Amino acid sequence: MDMAKTDLIAVVGCGYVGLVTAVGLAEQGMRVRAFDVDPVRLAACREHQFPMLEPGLEDAARAAGDRLTFHNVREEAWPHPAFTFIAVPTPQGDAGYPNLSMLRQVLMWIADGRSRASSENVIVIRSTVPPGTARWAHAEIERLIGGEVPVVANPEFLQEGRALQDFREPSRILIGSENRGAAEGLRDLMAFTSAPVIITDTSTAELAKYGSNAYLAMRISFANEMARLAEREGADPLVMLQAVGLDPRIGSRYLKPGVGYGGSCLPKDVAALVSMGSAANEPMELMRATQEVNELQRRRIIRTLADALEGLGGRRVAVLGLAFKPGTNDVRDSPGLQIARELLTAGADVVTWDAAVTSDLLPAADAELSVIGDPLEALRGADAAILCTEWPEIVDLDFSRAAEMMKGTLLVDGRYAWDPLRASNAGLDLVRIGTSRPVRHAAVSA
């Protein structure tokens, strides 16, 4: 492919993946037009105020200057770019299967600018989509336009909180394509990284994305299940898992027990695999168990708290952490938010704190949830506090001051992040998810 023509890139969808892709490519000197349907979001993006907390992203967008511009798909036609990256949401739909309606709308928009579309206008699906989607999109575009437009599956592996860094230095670049020229064109476009490139067919690339997230989720559920048993047996969960992870065949990452995984990707992708398995008559038993263990963790932390407080009605509970993990202000499928909701439903008096989530970032249905800006203030008068997100402000909590602020003495550690000795020295009782007895294990350094 003629690299001069790769100069203009379109990115459709100004969410997490789209913005990181747009900014990341503009940073490499390419001219990028980013599209979305939401005028409010576009206006904020033009001011380089992005809806998510992502280190370096706004600065990099500012530095790209005029190379990165923002446009509304409802007002502008598809500009016939060399590459069109589609990064629209594929939310969990019926029975866990991803809903592809937004992807379909983008294809219709592309088809509206039909006149000159050809094999020089590669469409790149960056959203997470089930195997067969790129092939379907290719046929759909052909049907709508009547010409050959390559459709490539190029899943991303960005982690929230370090997404721009992951874009610059990905672990691998995965290109699924039935058209060799298009695959090589995309590989050349991404030549700014030294990451290994895998070129394969579209279904293999699409499924590999699910496989990666599902494997991470499965490890977390494994760690959680083993940690619960360890608590029952009086073993130290962290040392036990550290010992497991030191086997180089296993590795120590994603073996941290806690309240379970959340976010917009892992839960959705595990559910999608369960659904795909049912449709293909290949039951995904490990995925089902992974889901069940994850749900159990959230229920169990509430039971632990209810047992220790002898009921939740009227008890004041501080939920520390609403983001689904530290380093982000994303509350999608957040364990902390779900726990706060359930405590409210059970009649508890709930106050919350988070380092990045403010009440305006919560869904409208959570309007009655009180979010307090200072962690110690959130503890004032509390019968108990639950750690749901391991923000440094909470991991390093001044336990003596916490003990002064609280009415009760109960701390529930949903992330195995607090040092039990420090807590007990301050007169606080620390319990973890799997047990309602205070823990006495020595803390383990990484």
Can you give the binding site for ligand UGA, defined by CB under 6 A? 128, 156-160, 213, 216, 220, 254-256, 258, 261-263, 265-266, 324-325
Nearer to ligand UGA among residue 255 and residue 284 (C-beta): 255
Among 14, 45, 265, 388, the one annotated catalytic: 265
Question: At closest approach, how far in Å is the CB of 312 from ligand UGA?
Answer: 24
C-alpha–C-alpha distance, residues 22 and 33, integer Å: 8
Q: Are 231 and 412 in contact (CB under 8 A)?
A: no
Question: At closest approach, how far in Å is the CB of 302 from ligand UGA?
Answer: 17
Question: At closest approach, how far in Å is the CB of 212 from ligand UGA?
Answer: 6
Alpha helices in 146-201 (DSSP H): 163-168, 180-189
3-state secondary structure of 269: helix
Question: At closest approach, how far in Å is the CB of 263 from ligand UGA?
Answer: 4
Secondary structure letter of residue 92 according to DSSP: B
* Closest CA relative to residue 30, chosen from 21, 38, 43, 18: 21
Extract the tokens encoding 368: 């009655």
C-alpha–C-alpha distance, residues 51 and 235, integer Å: 43
Nearer to ligand UGA among residue 85 and residue 324 (C-beta): 324
3-state secondary structure of 256: coil
Residue 146 main-chain phi, psi, to 5 deg: 80, 15
Burial 268-299 (b: 16+ CB within 10 A, else e): bbbbbbbbbbeeeeeebebbbebbebbebbbe
Question: At closest approach, how far in Å is the CB of 408 from ligand UGA?
Answer: 26
Burial 334-373 (b: 16+ CB within 10 A, else e): bbbbbbbbbbbebebbbbbbbbbbeeebbeeebeebebbe
Q: Are 355 and 326 in contact (CB under 8 A)?
A: yes
Question: At closest approach, how far in Å is the CB of 78 from ligand UGA?
Answer: 25
Question: Within a 10 A sphere around the Cβ of 89, how many other Cβ atoms?
Answer: 19
Asked if 388 is an active-site residue, the reply is: no
Question: At closest approach, how far in Å is the CB of 15 from ligand UGA?
Answer: 10
Nearer to ligand UGA among residue 160 and residue 419 (C-beta): 160
**CA-based R_g, the chain, Å:** 24
Nearer to ligand UGA among residue 121 and residue 213 (C-beta): 213
Question: At closest approach, how far in Å is the CB of 215 from ligand UGA?
Answer: 10
Question: At closest approach, how far in Å is the CB of 170 from ligand UGA?
Answer: 10
Any idea which residues carry the catalytic annotation?
A: 265
